[in-house]
Amino acid sequence: MKSQIRKIIVQVDEVLQEAGQAVNPPTRRALAMAVIANPYAGKFSDNLDILMDIGEELGGLLGERCVKALGIKPEEAQSYGKAAIVGEAGELEHAAAILHPKLGAPLRKAVSKGAALVPSAKKQGTLGTAIDVPLGHKDAAFVRSHFDAMEARVSDAPRANEIVVAVVVTDSGRPQARTGGLQVQEIVGQDGLR
Amino acid sequence: MLSGPHGRDANLGVFGLTALIDVLRVFSHVEEIHHEFGPPPNAPLIRGAIAAVLRNPYAGSYHANILPMMEALNPLGVDLAKQLCNAMGVQPEAIQGYGKGAIIGASGELEHGALWHVPGGYAMRELLGWKGERAAYTAGQGAASTGQPGNALSIVPSTKKVGPPSAALDVPLTHINASYVRSHFDAIEVRVPGAPRSDEIIVILAMSTGARVHARVGGLAAQDISQWNGLR
């Protein structure tokens, strides 16, 4: 494995009531994060191939951890998102190298299908920096009930030469979604948008 | 699950015993620690915490008698302890450290968090193999023992605070059988984004499968526990 992982963190956020209303079934969002060594920390490298390969490894590993934590079949996953926080000895482009070229394909395998773009966020940060991982429906980006975000944060990372990589998978939309727009039952699921 | 669709503005007087416990949200956090820049252990250390966000039935005004909620919290304590073991992917026998805590929303008071001491502590201890008499321990009469009288002998360390939404609480961890085991002194930061609102309270359990990942500062070692009194 090319990823040098210091720790893996998995969180599940289950909402049973919101604003005094029962949420039935409860909404559930799973967040999996890996704290990894940044192989390019402290130096400039034109070539970021190692990070692209790390992205490929982590897309599958973190996606599978989320699905497992939710206790669902891959096809029961509904929305997803990804993000990275680069420690101060790295550069923003390192997050891009992890997230964009290769992470998506194994993540889509973990959640089955995934016609839609995986929404993403990236930033540089320090220990305890929080990033809001954007979420969208995995097969149709326009589904309004599934636009959401989940906060990702590791209290002791990223250290200067580390990167925090986060993947979120849900089995639901927002707890009390009622702002209209494209509905789940109207998804065609071909173009990733509708 | 213990929650029910009770309105937030309902009059406290209408709630029966179980309705005192209204679970709004459950948040679990599991860490798998492979190293901290030193030699990796054979198996990664697993630390976890589970937090239940509850409606605080006593928020907004002073209530002299809050003990009914302590009794009503018992089933939730058992449920959360089991859910945390599941989330960590381990059997109760694998747990070596534990802790608990509470974060009370701004319309509540610190004392509301103290309601979690008995139901949180004993629920987790009984799941982990504690064989003592709860009533005797509550009265401060721990039985003298020879040899190891079960597991989870130590007091469960705790922290609590009144805080705003997204407040972080450092929940202490100590060895389950002897509080003085130095390798297992630890803490895990627990934070539920967006909670507690002012009329909510978060109750927390935390567990770990071992010592700090590179523990090496001496003191009482787990294999040298001999008094089985929860301390040494």
- Please answer whether residues A139 and A115 qualify as being in contact, where contact means their C-beta atoms are separated by less than 8 angstroms: yes
CA distances from B194 to A152, A180, B20, B42, B158 (A): 13, 24, 22, 37, 22
Burial of B14 (0-12, 13-18, 19+ CB in 10 A): exposed
Of residues A12, A22, A155, nearest to B28 (C-beta):
A12
pLDDT digits (tens, 9 = 90+) for A72-129: 999 999 999 999 999 999 999 999 999 999 999 999 999 999 999 999 999 999 999 9
Calculate the average pLDDT of chain A. 97
- Structurally, chain A folds into a number of domains equal to 1
> Has residue A191 been placed in a domain?
no
Instruction: Report the run of H or E that residue A163 belongs to, with start and end.
Output: strand A162-170
Cα–Cα distance, B95 to B97 (Å, whole number): 6
Query: How large is the C-alpha radius of gyration of chain B?
Result: 18
CATH superfamily of the domain spanning B12-224: BB2672 (3.30.1330.110)
- Please answer whether residues B222 and B96 qualify as being in contact, where contact means their C-beta atoms are separated by less than 8 angstroms: yes
The pairing of beta strand A148-153 with beta strand A120-124: unpaired
Nearest one of A33, A12, A49, A30 to A158, comparing CA atoms: A33
Query: How many Å from the N-terminal Cα to the C-terminal Cα in chain A?
Result: 37
Residue B87 and residue A69: Cβ atoms within 8 Å? yes
- Which chain A residues are Cβ-neighbours of B30 within 8 angstroms? 9-11, 69
> Has residue A193 been placed in a domain?
no
pLDDT digits (tens, 9 = 90+) for A135-190: 999 999 999 999 999 999 999 999 999 999 999 999 999 999 999 999 999 999 88
Q: Which residues have C-beta within 8 Å of that of residue A85, sequence separation ≥ 6?
A: A95, A122, A123, A124, A125, A129, A131, A152, A157, A158, A163, A164, A166
Chain B, nearest residue to A156 by Cα: B189
ipTM of the complex model: 0.91
Q: Which CATH number fits the domain that encloses residue A11?
A: 3.30.1330.110
Q: Is residue A191's pLDDT more than 70?
A: yes
- Which chain B residues are Cβ-neighbours of A58 within 8 angstroms? none
pLDDT at residue B6, rounded to an integer = 34
pLDDT digits (tens, 9 = 90+) for A123-147: 999 999 999 999 999 999 999 999 9
pLDDT at residue B143, rounded to an integer = 53
Peptide bond into A158 cis (omega under 30): yes
Residue A160 is part of which domain span? 5-186
Q: Which site among A3, A5, A6, A38 would you substitute to test the B interface, given the most B Cβ atoms closer than 10 Å to its Cβ?
A: A6
- Given CA atoms B52, B55, B59, B65 in this order, what sign does their dihedral have? negative
- Please answer whether residues B163 and B104 qualify as being in contact, where contact means their C-beta atoms are separated by less than 8 angstroms: yes
**Which residue stretches of chain B have pLDDT < 50?**
1-18
- Which chain A residues are Cβ-neighbours of B7 within 8 angstroms? 20
> Has residue A192 been placed in a domain?
no
pLDDT at residue A1, rounded to an integer = 86
Of residues A6, A18, A151, nearest to B35 (C-beta):
A6
> Has residue A48 been placed in a domain?
yes
> Has residue A88 been placed in a domain?
yes
Global confidence as pTM: 0.90
Residue B24 and residue A15: Cβ atoms within 8 Å? yes
- Please answer whether residues A146 and A135 qualify as being in contact, where contact means their C-beta atoms are separated by less than 8 angstroms: yes
